[in-house]
Amino acid sequence: MAEKPRLKLPKEAAKGEIIQIKTLVSHVMESGQRKDAQGKPIPRKIINKFTCEFNGKPVFSCALEPAISANPYIQFDARIDEAGTFKFAWTDDDGSVITAEEKIALKA
């Protein structure tokens, strides 16, 4: 299966600080528009949904269409009010889900 998603976010943040989160996951994002050597259409296979939760509360999510480039890169922001854990999930067309977690602490 796909390799581990890459995440970039600070390890700690001040209370109320808005941090930037960068995510990248390896995926072909087959659009369903292309044809193989025999001229048969290659079936669509993309990540159609991405969600980010912080301590169980939704932060950011998006619905993706075939017009998203291969190895989807998503960058967004989050406001940190408390220490906790970010949970990321990428849902594939075939129903499989790639997940990742990252902890963040409050600056002392």
Partner 1 sequence: MKAINRRQAFALGGGFVMLTLMPMAADAEVTGDAAKWIETFTGGKLPVKGKISLDLPEIAENGNTVPLSVNIESPMTADSYVKEVMILADGNPNAGVATLMFTPLSGKAEASIRIRLATTQNVVAVAKMSDGSLFTEQKTVKVTIGGCGG
Beta-carbon contacts of residue 59 (< 8 Å; ≥ 6 apart): 52, 53, 76, 78, 86
If the CB atoms of residues 62 and 83 are measured against partner 1, the closer one turns out to be 62
Q: Which residue has the tokens 């906790």?
A: 84
In the complex, least distance from residue 94 CB atom to partner 1, rounded to whole angstroms: 19
If the CB atoms of residues 79 and 97 are measured against partner 1, the closer one turns out to be 79
If the CB atoms of residues 68 and 98 are measured against partner 1, the closer one turns out to be 68
Residues near partner 1, by CB under 8 A: 18-19, 31, 33-35, 54, 57-70, 72-79
Contact in structure between 85 and 102 (CB atoms under 8 Å):
yes
